Amino acid sequence: MADTLTFEDEAETPEQIPEQIPEQTMGAGCCGDTGESYDLAKPFKAEDKRLLNCKQVDVNQLMPLKYDWAWEHYLNGCANHWMPTEVPMQRDIELWRTDALTDAERQVILRNLGFFSTGESLVGNNIVLAIFKHITNSEARQYLLRQAFEEAIHTHTFHYIIESLGLDGREVFNMYHEVASIKGKDQFVMNLTSDVMDPNFSTESIEGMQKFIKNLIGFYVIMEGIFFYSGFVMILSFHRQNRMTGIGEQFQYILRDETIHLNFGIDLINTIKAENPEVWTSELQRDIYDLVNDAVEYEVLYARDCLPEGVLGLNETMFREYVQFIADRRLERIGLAGVYGSQNPFPWMGETIDIVKEKNFFETRVTDYQSGGALSWDEWSRRKNLRKGTAPSTRHTKSKSLQDW
């Protein structure tokens, strides 16, 4: 563990429950903690639900809802639906085929395609194979199904980009085996899945719940909340210069999705803590600090690999400060004290996404994108032609930054 991180005394570590957790979840027992057998064929009360280890409630019944935050995240995800093939790549293709991009700039793009292309698959597989079956609440599962679909869309995005630019897909997708900085990050989070993937794993013990929380920390707080953000800065730096705008726009949509994923994961972690306070031990908190510290170092190594000599006005020092800044924000969101005290070296990212107020980021609805059922005939025709490459897109002029969303 690096010397830059210290764990404060337990008394000095704030334990905060987010405002969005309703009071009824605090210490609420499954089915009222009465201990009697429960007939799954009978209607149940919302307060009978729990996120983990609730065998007495029929998980196939969505209503009545208990966790409104889970349902809101699901609705936000549905409202933000998009497909990569709706984003034109012609300008990117033309630029990629010229000498306008330096070798260093091309490396930045390729490294990020290599990381994200398999990183999204790892997250999706973790949802389907490790998380879903242990969540015993229907509205939380409803969002997990939506998120898994979005991870598939993100993987589709990189397939679309790779094919558009004429890249070797095998080379890009295999980078997580061949490029040390990518392999290190992916292996780090995959290690947190091994226990939960064990066929005999259970969340019925305190130790089991703690391992499950570590898995959630690894994939929501670290993978989607830390590891993805350096890549967002790098690719959106091209977009700010009006270069590789197709890739940049798709990364904006991915960033929008990932913010909801992060918010859901944090709400999930905090609610499990609230319902099972005995799991939130000082030892677990120390382990989380260690995980976050290691994640910061992995991400700095990744930034150094992508930007060995600096490019686009970016360098390793700036990314260390930035990663430490967002790591503190993540720790604070799960009720732990920040440890770095770094400032955001990329103030323009604040125009793209207000990190300080992330949990309120999606209160504004998408105005540029409509779901299929809400499209007019003219708009439907335009998008149909766009998929065939016969119509120009207006989205570049409408969505210059995520702040418009």
Any idea which residues carry the catalytic annotation?
160
Q: Containing H/E element for 292?
A: helix 282-306
Q: Which residue carries 């059922």 as its tokens?
A: 373
Rounded to whole angstroms, the Cα distance separating 405 from 399 reads 8
User: In 297-325, which positions are buried (b, 16+ CB within 10 angstroms) versus exposed (e)?
Assistant: bbbbebbebbbeeebbebbbebbbbbbbb
Task: Answer for the pair 369, 273: CB distance below 8 angstroms, yes or no.
Answer: no
Our CA angle for 107, 109, 115, nearest 5°, is 100
DSSP string, 353-385: --GGGGGGGGGSPPSS---GGG--HHHHHHHHH
- DSSP state, residue 9: P
Residues 67 and 54 sit within 8 Å (Cβ to Cβ): no
Rounded to whole angstroms, the Cα distance separating 261 from 271 reads: 15
End-to-end CA distance of the chain: 39
H or E segment and range at residue 92:
helix 90-96
Report the amino acid identity of residue 120: E
Best CA proximity match to 272, nearest among 67, 77, 14: 67
Measured at the CA of 156, the angle between CA 151 and CA 161, to 5 degrees, comes to 130
The residue whose two tokens read 């008394």 is 11
